[in-house]
């Protein structure tokens, strides 16, 4: 039986591309919302979830950090997708024919220079893959979509202009999540441990909680805060560190963390897809 990996969006979305790149042997399962992605894995409909957590241009993906601690899933891998934006038109269309381009609100500003240079008006769509599908269905030569090459393949669109994004380093980081935890040592670039915690209501609690990572020589590559249940006084932190929970220095740092925090929860231990340094 073919295993499945769930993602949010329509076929051809960048999350779909992440699934293909990271798990080419698995069937990609599109879902309407992030909650649906998580539920599909929890129910057994899918084996893995592919969830975007942050983008190098726009920062963290809204709601994801709120969902992770209560998902019942474990991070088992990470993946990066370079966001290449392409101008896709119906068969027979030429670049000179295009007067409007449809895509997600986030993508349109990322290729503003190209659109301005060619006199193309941006049109907002709820999703870039959906924009590709709707352009294909409409069949109008003056209308194009800004999306991945995968979306062009799926919806039978022609590549009118390739990699038109203004920035050459726009990348999205994804987490691969599973029902089963896997803390085996694997990968070529070391291990990442991700966890969430809340600090105790005492002076300098966060400073003291972080002290153990500094004194034990642990590289903390991410520390983000977000409100809990809409409260301005209850703050939860999400952290990524380089290391495995069985490493002696990680054990010492986590022990010290426990003294100044509450509700420490490890979300996953997984191989780094890229060197952290």
Enclosing H/E stretch for 253: helix 248-260
34, 114, 172, 260: which is the annotated catalytic residue? 172
Assigned token pair, 132 = 């590709």
Known catalytic membership, residue 172:
yes
Can you tell me the distance from the alpha carbon of 106 to that of 273, in angstroms, rounded to the nearest whole number? 25
Produce one character per residue of 217-235: b if its CB has 16 or more CB atoms within 10 Å, e if not.
Answer: ebeeebeeeeeeeeeeeee
Q: Pairing mode, if any, of strands 100-103 and 121-124? A: parallel
Can you tell me the distance from the alpha carbon of 59 to that of 219, in angstroms, rounded to the nearest whole number? 20
* Residues annotated catalytic, as ranges: 172, 174
């Amino acid at each position: 039986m073919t295993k499945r990996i769930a993602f949010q969006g329509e076929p051809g979305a960048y999350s779909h591309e992440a699934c293909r790149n990271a798990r080419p042997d698995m069937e990609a399962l599109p879902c309407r919302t992030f909650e649906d992605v998580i539920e599909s894995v929890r129910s057994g409909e899918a084996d893995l979830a592919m969830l975007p957590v942050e983008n190098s241009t726009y920062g963290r993906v809204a709601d994801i950090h709120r969902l992770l601690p209560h998902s019942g899933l474990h991070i088992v891998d990470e993946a990066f997708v370079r966001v290449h934006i392409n101008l896709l038109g119906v068969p027979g269309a030429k670049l000179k024919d295009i007067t409007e381009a449809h895509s997600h609100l986030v993508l349109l500003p990322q290729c503003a220079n190209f659109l301005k240079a060619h006199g193309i008006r941006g049109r907002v769509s709820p999703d870039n893959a959906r924009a590709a599908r709707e352009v294909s269905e409409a069949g109008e030569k003056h209308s194009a979509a800004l999306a991945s090459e995968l979306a062009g393949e799926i919806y039978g669109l022609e590549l009118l202009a390739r990699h038109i994004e203004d920035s050459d380093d726009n990348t999205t980081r994804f987490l691969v999540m599973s029902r089963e935890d896997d803390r085996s040592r694997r990968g070529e670039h070391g291990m990442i441990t991700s966890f969430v915690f809340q600090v105790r209501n005492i002076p300098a609690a966060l400073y003291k909680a972080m002290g153990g990572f500094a004194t034990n020589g642990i590289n903390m590559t991410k520390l983000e805060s977000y409100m809990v249940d809409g409260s301005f006084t209850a703050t939860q932190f999400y952290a990524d560190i380089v290391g495995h929970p069985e490493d002696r220095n990680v054990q010492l740092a986590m022990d010290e963390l426990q003294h100044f925090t509450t509700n420490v929860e490890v979300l996953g231990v997984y191989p780094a897809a890229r060197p952290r340094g």
